[in-house]
Structure formats: structure tokens, C-alpha cells
């Protein structure tokens, strides 16, 4: 079948690489289970996301690419990098019954926000997620902050994805055309319990910093999450057959930190709620309509309870303190507009009266002449 064919191809690749170095298959010991898991750990760290293991590219028959993160080091084994990678890659695959689960148990019926089964479906979905992030999230960057093996068949990866929210694209574009100005990113996760408010003073400070310090400070979105990866080891008899994968990716469970905080009603900052919704848009599966996905998110995540995110909420009018600040800003804008209007009226009135006086003088001169 297809699995046997892939295993045979992997074995042939290993033999070809061994012969290129003047060795036989029996001359070099096969990699241990620890080598296989070490390669998977390194791949997650290199690509910054545990979804790398579920992608269709990370299969037993994937060709080796020199100079990439796919190559394992030979520090602990003393083997040539090419040999170790070709053999180790052939010992890992995505299990035919693999599952991808996003936010397990979060839906009202106790189900996950999203659950996909099957090797091909999981691989294609992971590939789609990474591609969608790169296409739809401006300045998207992924990083694996901590990857650890908690058991012989389980890995926990903590990761974060950063991007510029849609409403702040103008700041990045402005900095790109402003001579000498560079973008300085920072996150606002420490302001989770504070309500976000727009003030003209804050906008003025942004331009002041850009003009004086040549830095455009942009508050980008940072989404933190945890992924639990479970593997299935081959049977003892099959484990000694090095043409057969010894590890299979059995399940990938993904949780997002801010989703838990939102459902616990700990998030007061509507910017963070919007960041989560923008990130979840990239997790929409291809066979689900946008309306259906939005409804699924609405019923599973309490983002409408975040101040300012309700259907009838108006920015700055959620409570008395917000209203006072908005009214104060409105008074400043109104006063400024009044000064501009009066100045224009004074200048226009003076010019108009001066014209009338000039016309009257000309008419008087004409009468005297005739």
C-alpha cells in the first residue's frame, strides 16, 4: 500500500546516502527514539510553531534540504548530519487517525472549537493555518518560547504569534515613508485589566515621539498559546525494522491563553479581544463558511462581554469615567475648531470690509470727478 511504498522509498534514500559516504547500512547504528524526538523538538523551535510537525511537508518521504532547520545536529551521536536526518525522517510520520483539536471543551455542548481527524486533513490544515497567518496578518512572526518533552511520547510547546492589527497598518506605512523613522513594536498584554481608550493626547504623543526620537511605537498583537503533541510508538517487532516509522503524530491539542482569560471575564481591554478574533480568523477550516465560523466563535468565546465589544457599545461611552474623558476630548476639539473658525471669520470679515471701503472710496471719487 501507500505506507509500505513510502517506507521503501525512505529506506532506499538512506541506502543511497550511506553508499555516497562509502558505508553500508550495517556499518552505522540506527538513530534511537531520542534522536527522533530531538529532531522534532528542534523543528518546532526552528519554525516557531508546533504546526510544523503536522504539515504535509514533514513526512517520511520528504527530501533533505541542506542549510535548513530540517537538519539535525550530530553533536550527541557523532554521525554525519545527512545520514542522521535521512534515517530519522524515515522514522516519523503523521498517524492515519491523527487529530487536530483547537480549544477542547470550550463549546456550549462540551465539544472543541475545531476538531479535524485524518492524516491528510490534519497535514493540509496545518499547512493552511501557517499560510493564512503569513498572508492575512501583517508582519506576522512566530516563535516557540519553550518546547519540552514531558514523557517518552508527549511534547508540550509554548508559542507566540505576533502581528500588526489591521487598524494600525497606517502607522507602519507612515513610518516606512517618514525619513529616518523606524518602527518599534511593543505588546499590551500587561494592560489586560485596563480599558483601552482613544485620546487625542495619546495620538499627539505618538507623532511627538516619531518627530523627536525617530521612532514610531506600534502596539502589536501578541497571541500566546500552548500545544500538546502526543505520539504513538511502533510495536516492538516493528521498531526494529528501520524502514518502518517508529513514531507517529497521534494528536495535536491547541489552546490560546487569551481565550481562557476572556471566558473567565478577566480581559477588560477590547484591543486584546479584537486581536484574538483576528487570530481566530486564520484558524477557519476550508470547508466551513465564514458565517458558520463566526457563529461558532460567538457561541464558544465570551468576547462580547469585554467592555466596548458589545453590539450596542460605543467607544468611550461604557461608563461615567469614559464619558467624562470623551467629553473632555470633545471639548478640546470643539474649542480648537471654534478658535479656527473665529480666526477665519475675523480674517475673512476684515478682507470683506476692506473691500467695501475701497469700493465706497472709488464711488465717491467718481462722483466728484463728474
Could you read off the pLDDT of 83-114 as tens digits, one per residue? 334 444 556 788 889 999 999 999 999 999 99
In the predicted model, what is the mean pLDDT of the chain? 76
CB 225 within 8 A of CB 159: yes
155-179 b/e with 16+ CB inside 10 Å = b?
A: bbbbbbbbbbbeeeeebbebbeeee
| Average pLDDT of span 47-61 | 68
Q: How confident is the model at residue 63 (pLDDT cuts 50, 70, 90)?
A: very low
- 1: cell is 500500500
- In the beta sheet, which residues pair with residue 185? 218
Q: Would you say 81 and 237 are in contact if contact means Cβ atoms under 8 Å apart?
A: no
Q: What pLDDT shows up at residue 336?
A: 57
157 forms beta bridges with: 147, 227
Section 299-310 average pLDDT: 89
According to DSSP, the β-strands at 114-117 and 92-102 are antiparallel
The band of 207, judged by pLDDT with boundaries at 50, 70 and 90, is: confident
Q: Is the pLDDT of residue 10 over 60?
A: no
In the predicted structure, residue 64 carries a pLDDT above the cut 60: no
Q: pLDDT, tens digit, for every residue of 311-323?
A: 444 444 445 555 5
Amino acid at each position: 500500500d501507500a505506507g509500505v511504498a513510502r517506507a521503501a522509498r525512505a529506506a532506499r534514500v538512506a541506502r543511497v546516502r550511506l553508499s555516497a559516504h562509502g558505508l553500508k547500512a550495517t556499518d552505522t547504528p540506527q538513530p534511537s527514539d531520542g534522536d527522533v524526538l530531538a529532531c522534532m523538538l528542534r523543528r518546532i523551535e526552528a519554525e516557531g510553531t508546533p504546526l510544523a510537525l503536522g504539515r504535509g511537508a514533514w513526512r517520511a518521504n520528504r527530501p533533505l534540504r541542506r542549510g535548513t532547520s530540517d537538519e539535525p545536529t550530530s553533536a550527541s551521536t557523532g554521525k554525519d548530519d545527512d545520514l542522521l536526518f535521512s534515517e530519522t525522517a524515515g522514522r516519523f510520520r503523521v498517524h492515519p487517525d491523527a487529530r487536530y483539536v483547537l480549544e477542547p471543551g470550550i463549546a456550549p455542548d462540551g465539544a472543541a472549537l475545531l476538531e479535524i481527524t485524518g492524516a491528510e486533513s490534519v497535514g493540509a490544515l496545518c499547512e493552511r493555518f501557517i499560510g493564512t497567518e503569513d498572508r492575512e496578518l501583517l508582519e506576522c512572526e512566530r516563535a516557540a518560547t519553550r518546547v519540552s518533552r514531558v514523557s517518552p511520547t508527549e511534547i508540550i510547546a509554548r508559542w507566540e504569534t505576533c502581528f500588526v492589527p489591521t487598524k494600525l497598518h497606517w502607522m507602519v506605512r507612515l513610518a516606512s515613508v517618514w525619513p529616518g523613522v523606524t518602527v518599534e513594536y511593543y505588546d499590551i498584554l500587561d494592560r489586560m485589566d485596563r480599558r483601552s481608550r482613544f485620546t487625542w493626547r495619546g495620538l499627539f504623543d505618538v507623532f511627538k515621539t516619531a518627530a523627536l526620537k525617530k521612532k514610531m511605537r506600534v502596539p502589536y498583537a501578541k497571541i500566546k498559546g500552548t500545544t500538546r503533541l502526543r505520539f504513538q510508538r511502533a510495536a516492538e517487532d516493528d521498531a526494529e525494522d528501520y524502514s518502518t516509522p517508529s513514531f507517529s503524530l497521534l494528536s495535536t491539542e491547541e489552546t490560546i491563553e487569551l481565550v481562557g482569560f476572556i471566558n473567565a471575564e478577566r480581559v477588560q481591554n477590547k484591543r486584546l479581544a479584537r486581536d484574538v478574533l483576528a487570530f481566530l480568523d486564520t484558524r477557519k477550516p476550508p470547508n466551513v463558511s465564514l458565517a458558520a465560523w463566526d457563529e461558532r466563535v460567538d457561541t464558544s468565546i465570551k468576547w462580547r462581554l469585554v467592555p466596548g465589544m458589545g453590539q450596542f457599545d460605543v467607544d468611550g461611552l461604557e461608563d461615567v469615567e469614559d464619558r467624562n474623558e470623551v467629553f473632555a476630548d470633545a471639548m478640546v476639539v470643539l474649542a480648537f475648531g471654534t478658535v479656527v473658525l473665529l480666526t477665519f471669520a475675523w480674517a475673512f470679515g476684515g478682507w470683506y470690509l476692506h473691500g467695501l471701503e475701497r469700493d465706497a472710496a472709488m464711488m465717491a471719487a467718481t462722483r466728484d470727478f463728474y
